[in-house]
Structure 1
Amino acid sequence: MELSAQPTIEDTNAPAITEITGFEGQSHLAVSLSYTLWRNPDDRADPVNLKDLDPVEQEAVDDVPPWPRPSWLIEYVEMMRYPQLWEAVRTSWNSDVSEHTTLAQQLVDHTNYILMNQFRKELGLAPGPTENGPWQVGPSSVNTAVTLAIDGKDVPAFEIDTDPFVYAIGAHVRNDVVVTVVIAREHLPYVRVTLRTQSAATA
């Protein structure tokens, strides 16, 4: 699944794929899509589109080596200047039904994954392995009385709308497939949270 086409976002074309395979074969597969955010899509040169870079990012952008770089690397470094909806849309398949594969739990897991990786400073998390703690959202944060538009139809959905840093929503695509979306609250005004099935032409 992917976010519906809209001028403020652009797929980075760098999906993250995770899978679990054991003696009985594959039991889990997830594909996560990231997007570049354009606050003013009509003028990409508008400074409003830029994000505040941390020192490491600023150094990476400013450091131009004396040797030629491949075009893909130049483009990658240049895109660091702009906000990213990092792994915002995750489509997950699980072969087994358990307490760990429910829609509510997968929504919680995706939300905590984004919080842990994108909001460490805001949450006061130290470098290194991250322990469980009050920074996490839990199943009690899940609201089960909402809908999400997928391929033009409103379907029953679950959401997490209590965290100060992110908003999350998810739904079943099939009995064994769920899609979850986690977006930073600061980016929500620029994104329409509706989904569509990714076609072969856009994949």
Structure 2
Amino acid sequence: MEYAGVVPMDAPDPRIESEARVRALTYPVFELRPQRSLSRIPGAGFMEATQSAVVAESSVSFNYTLWRHPDDHSDPRNEIELDPATRRALEEEPPWGRPAWLIEQARMLKYPMLWEAVRTSWQASPDPERHSLAQQLVDHTNHILRNRFREELGLRDGPSEDDGGWEAKTSAVRDASFAVDGQDRPAVQIDTDPFVYAVGFRVDENVVCTAVVPRDSLPLIDLALGAYD
């Protein structure tokens, strides 16, 4: 559900519908294990591709709030640096008001986010190359780099004609192990990028799960996954 312009005070919280959509998926979905330094942001990001009006590919991604000082979420040291105009936009109430769920969403934008950190992807008929575990890990990694590290990579706003030298490649993928529901699973990782660390595992022949997180967050979190509950 999307809103444009003024959001009415009685508008339903779209995160409720999003969570119901995740629960209705027919394939297993994974998320970071509960921990003090992370709060999963309610709702999810979805992608679907269809062929002949039938869903051929689907993925779901989760975002997380990172608490650098988890003992006290109100500690101002948890907040990211914001320019005055952005802070006013998040904190000041418009004359027409906002529903409580939208106020909460705006408040959480003052804290660092692990954006689309965990992605579970399903393909009805996986292509051996395009949907290999290594390729899907690379795709997720480059998605995060392109959207969250543009300044660090020197990418201009909007479409660019850069040479792609910043992109992760399958040649960087190495074997690894990964904790899933308390057990080590065979996995692959990208541990050579200066900005992010990436790891993924194959759930079954149709489903892959990948996780990509900023390197500066790694000391603060337990990078382990569990089935969505």
TM norm structure 1:
0.92
Q: Encode CA deviations 1:69-125: one digit per residue, 9 max, x unaligned.
A: 111111111101000010000000012232110000000000000001001111111
Aligned counterpart for 1:111 among listed residues 128, 141, 159: 141
Alignment of 1:56-67 (within 5 A): 57-67=86-96
Q: Report the AA paired with residue 61 of structure 1.
A: L
Aligned residue identity for 1:187 = S
* Separation in structure 2 between the aligned mates of residue 109 and residue 185 of structure 1, nearest angstrom: 18
Structure 2 unaligned runs (5+)?
Answer: 1-29
Moved over 3 A (4+): 54-59
What is the aligned residue count?
198
Deviation at 1:59, TM superposition (A): 4.7
Per-residue deviation at 1:61?
1.9
Of 182, 187, 190, 1:152 maps to 182
TM-score when scaled to structure 2? Answer: 0.82
Counterpart-to-counterpart distance in 2, 1:28 and 1:81: 34
Pick from 148, 164, 179: which aligns with 1:133? 164
User: 52-61 vs 81-90, which deviates more?
Assistant: 52-61
Deviates more, 1:108-117 or 1:38-47: 38-47
SS at match of 1:41: coil
Shift of 1:63: 4.4
Q: Deviations over 1:3-38 (max 9, x none)?
A: 011111111012001011111721101000001111
Q: Give the match's secondary structure for 1:7.
A: coil
Q: Which of 100, 104, 111 lines up with 1:71 in the alignment?
A: 100
Q: What is residue 33 of structure 2 aligned with on the other side?
A: 4
Contact 2:197 2:215 in 1 (8 A): yes
Shift of the 161–9 alpha-carbon distance from structure 1 to 2, 3 Å rule, reads same
**Helix, strand or coil for the counterpart of 1:154?**
strand
Greater shift in the superposed pair: 81-90 or 58-67? 58-67
How far is 1:58 from its partner? 3.2
CA RMSD of aligned residues (A): 1.6
AA at the equivalent of 2:110: R
Q: Which amino acid aligns with 1:142?
A: V
- Which runs of no fewer than 5 residues in structure 1 stay unpaired? none
Q: Distance in 2 between matches of 1:73 and 1:63?
A: 12
Partner of 1:23: 52
Task: Check conservation: 2:91, 2:106, Cα contact below 8 A.
Answer: no
Deviates more, 1:84-93 or 1:15-24: 15-24
Q: 3-state DSSP class of the match of 1:20?
A: strand
Instruction: Summarize the Cα distance change of 1:81–1:174 in structure 2 as closer, same or farther, 3 Å threshold.
Output: same
In structure 2, C-alpha distance between the alignment counterparts of 1:174 and 1:119, rounded to whole Å: 31
CA spacing shift, 1:188–1:56, aligned 2, 3 Å: farther
SS of the residue corresponding to residue 168 of structure 2 reads coil
